[in-house]
């Protein structure tokens, strides 16, 4: 009987322990806890299994005994070891969304580029094309800088993208430049990093270009009483012109400013009709609050009214005996001193046979250059004009005949250091020429023959 009660009580206790263990496992699974000792040993009923506080409370309510109490039989004999439990706080695992971490990227070291051998590829008027070579062709691009002789600091004027040249050579076109200004260029590579920062490479050498600003060319000068009219050819890029005047003695002074590059003539009033004047013209352009000037034109001399009358006659002679024709008889052996032809003399074959001639007012039968110069003098002054010879360059005047170095000419312009002449047979073919320049230094020991009334 007593054994039966003990058996029943033991059976009841075993069931209670089994229930506690199952409840503990369920609670641990639901709360994310882990029964470390039991799972490692594989024995569900092992002594020392950790259970949760909720499981212990359940065991109390079902058994009526506190954990750790000793189970005794009716005889008072203790049976079994005290069952002890260790209260372990439940462990929880936070539910997180798995993330994929990218491995850190490392930017490759920069290979800085170098621009070199910058040069002018083409230049035309107010534009230039520059080119340069690069050493590595690694740059993101190339920055072009420019300065000039009026704006001293370099300024960025453009960029060229990198990595586009197969031959490590790049170009840049710059246009709209100002004539008379000298521009200087340089090129600098730049590299853009992954973080957006910029690193510059090695800057190139420099190259320069100054668009030409041509001097004006005076096309004509006329005189009427006290008024002198000058005309010149338009200069590309000009914003205006300045006219400078000088008399026979003394330096040049500015006498007129013309606004507008398209205006190409000027009238100068109140000029002494008995005096000679010299003129030159400069073009100017405006840039950076400055006036930039071209070189001056060649000097043109406007003579007194009396000399101007002579020049008017010379102009008619130029038309009657034009440059390029021949003062000879090659096409008309029976011709006279008025005869000209298109055929040069062949002195090595015919000698002087077909050379033209003229009986000069000094009694000489003049052939070739000698006869031509004196014929022109007679046509200007008349056959009966008197002759006065001298050796002074300073006294020489337009219309004078000069004999120098075995050659004869007639003066059609006179300047401080040179004259221009009309002549025949320069070069030995009896060709007619007007306007050849003869320097003062070439006229040493020359004889000047002046005509007057």
Mean model confidence pLDDT for the chain: 83
Predicted local confidence at residue 392, as pLDDT:
96
**Whether pLDDT at 343 is above 80:** yes
Report the topology of domain 239-302: Immunoglobulin-like (2.60.40)
Predicted local confidence at residue 38, as pLDDT:
35
Q: How confident is the model at residue 17 (pLDDT cuts 50, 70, 90)?
A: low
Predicted local confidence at residue 42, as pLDDT:
42
Least confident of 37-51, 157-171, 338-352, 410-424: 37-51
Exposure string of 382-412, with b = 16+ CB inside 10 Å and e = fewer, is eeeeebeeeeebeebbbbbbbbeeebbbbbb
Q: What is the mean pLDDT of residues 11-33?
A: 52
**Whether pLDDT at 366 is above 80:** yes
Helical (H) or strand (E) element with 372 = helix 368-381
Q: How confident is the model at residue 27 (pLDDT cuts 50, 70, 90)?
A: very low
Report the topology of domain 115-209: Immunoglobulin-like (2.60.40)
Helices (H), 42-142: 53-63
Q: Is the pTM of this model over 0.75?
A: no
Q: What is the mean pLDDT of residues 77-106?
A: 51
**Whether pLDDT at 349 is above 60:** yes
Q: How confident is the model at residue 28 (pLDDT cuts 50, 70, 90)?
A: low
What Cα–Cα distance (Å) separates residue 215 from each residue in 139, 232, 289?
44, 10, 21
Residue 133 CA, chain-centre distance (Å), reads 16
Predicted local confidence at residue 12, as pLDDT:
56
What Cα–Cα distance (Å) separates residue 170 from each residue in 110, 132, 160, 173?
21, 6, 8, 11
Predicted local confidence at residue 411, as pLDDT:
97
**Whether pLDDT at 59 is above 50:** no
Segments making up each domain of the chain, as ranges: 2-87, 115-209, 239-302, 305-452
**Whether pLDDT at 103 is above 80:** no
Predicted local confidence at residue 415, as pLDDT:
87
Q: What is the mean pLDDT of residues 385-400?
A: 95
Predicted local confidence at residue 152, as pLDDT:
92
Mean pLDDT is highest, among 1-15, 23-37, 103-117, for: 103-117
Predicted local confidence at residue 11, as pLDDT:
54
Q: What is the mean pLDDT of residues 266-279?
A: 95
Predicted local confidence at residue 76, as pLDDT:
42
Indicate if 239-302 has the same CATH topology as 115-209. yes
What does the DSSP 8-state code read for residue 124?
E
**Whether pLDDT at 21 is above 80:** no
Least confident of 45-49, 236-240, 278-282, 417-421: 45-49
- Contact at 8 Å (CB) between 187 and 143? yes
276-335: pLDDT as tens digits: 999 999 999 999 999 999 999 999 989 898 888 999 999 999 999 999 999 999 999 999
Percent of the chain past pLDDT 70, that is, above it, reads 76
Q: How confident is the model at residue 382 (pLDDT cuts 50, 70, 90)?
A: very high
Q: What is the mean pLDDT of residues 73-89?
A: 45
Predicted local confidence at residue 416, as pLDDT:
85
**Whether pLDDT at 145 is above 70:** yes
Q: How confident is the model at residue 15 (pLDDT cuts 50, 70, 90)?
A: low
Q: How confident is the model at residue 8 (pLDDT cuts 50, 70, 90)?
A: low
Please, which contacts does 435-439 make with residues 24 or more away whose CB atoms are closer than 8 Å? 435/323, 438/409
């Amino acid at each position: 009987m007593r054994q039966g009660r003990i058996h029943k009580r033991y059976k009841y206790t075993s069931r209670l322990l089994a229930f506690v263990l199952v409840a503990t496992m369920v609670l641990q699974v639901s709360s994310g806890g882990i029964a470390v000792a039991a799972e490692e040993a594989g024995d569900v009923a092992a002594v020392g299994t950790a259970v949760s506080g909720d499981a212990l409370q359940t065991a109390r309510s079902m058994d009526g005994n506190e954990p750790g109490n000793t189970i005794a039989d009716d005889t008072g004999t203790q049976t079994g070891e005290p069952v002890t439990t260790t209260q372990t706080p439940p462990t929880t695992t936070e539910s997180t969304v798995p993330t994929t971490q990218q491995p850190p990227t490392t930017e490759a070291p920069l290979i800085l580029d170098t621009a070199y051998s910058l040069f002018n590829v083409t230049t035309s008027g107010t534009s230039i094309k520059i080119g340069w070579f690069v050493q590595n062709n690694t740059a993101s691009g190339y920055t072009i800088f420019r300065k000039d002789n009026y704006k001293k600091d370099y300024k960025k004027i453009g960029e060229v993208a990198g990595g586009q040249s197969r031959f490590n050579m790049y170009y840049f076109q710059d246009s709209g430049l100002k004539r008379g200004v000298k521009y200087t260029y340089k090129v600098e590579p730049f590299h853009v990093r992954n973080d957006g920062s910029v690193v510059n490479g090695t800057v190139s050498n420099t190259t320069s270009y100054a668009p030409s600003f041509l001097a004006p060319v005076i096309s004509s000068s006329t005189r009427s009483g006290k008024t002198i009219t000058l005309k010149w050819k338009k200069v590309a890029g000009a914003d205006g012109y300045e006219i400078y005047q000088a008399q026979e003695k003394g330096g040049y002074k500015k006498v007129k400013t013309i606004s507008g590059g398209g205006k190409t003539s000027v009238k100068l009033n109140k000029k002494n009709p008995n005096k000679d004047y010299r003129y030159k013209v400069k073009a100017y352009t405006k840039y950076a609050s400055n006036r930039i000037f071209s070189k001056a034109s060649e000097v043109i001399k406007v003579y007194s009214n009396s000399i101007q009358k002579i020049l008017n006659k010379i102009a008619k002679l130029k038309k009657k005996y034009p440059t390029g024709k021949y003062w000879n008889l090659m096409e008309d052996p029976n011709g006279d001193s008025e005869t000209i032809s298109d055929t040069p003399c062949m002195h090595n074959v015919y000698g002087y046979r077909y050379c033209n001639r003229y009986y000069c007012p000094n009694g000489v039968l003049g052939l070739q250059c000698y006869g031509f110069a004196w014929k022109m003098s007679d046509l200007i002054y008349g056959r009966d004009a008197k002759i006065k010879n001298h050796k002074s360059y300073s006294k020489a005047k337009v219309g004078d005949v000069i004999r120098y170095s075995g050659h004869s000419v007639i003066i059609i312009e006179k300047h401080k250091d040179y004259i221009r002449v009309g002549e025949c047979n320069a070069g030995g073919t009896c060709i007619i020429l007007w306007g050849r320049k003869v320097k003062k230094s070439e006229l040493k020991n020359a004889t000047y023959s002046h005509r007057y009334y």
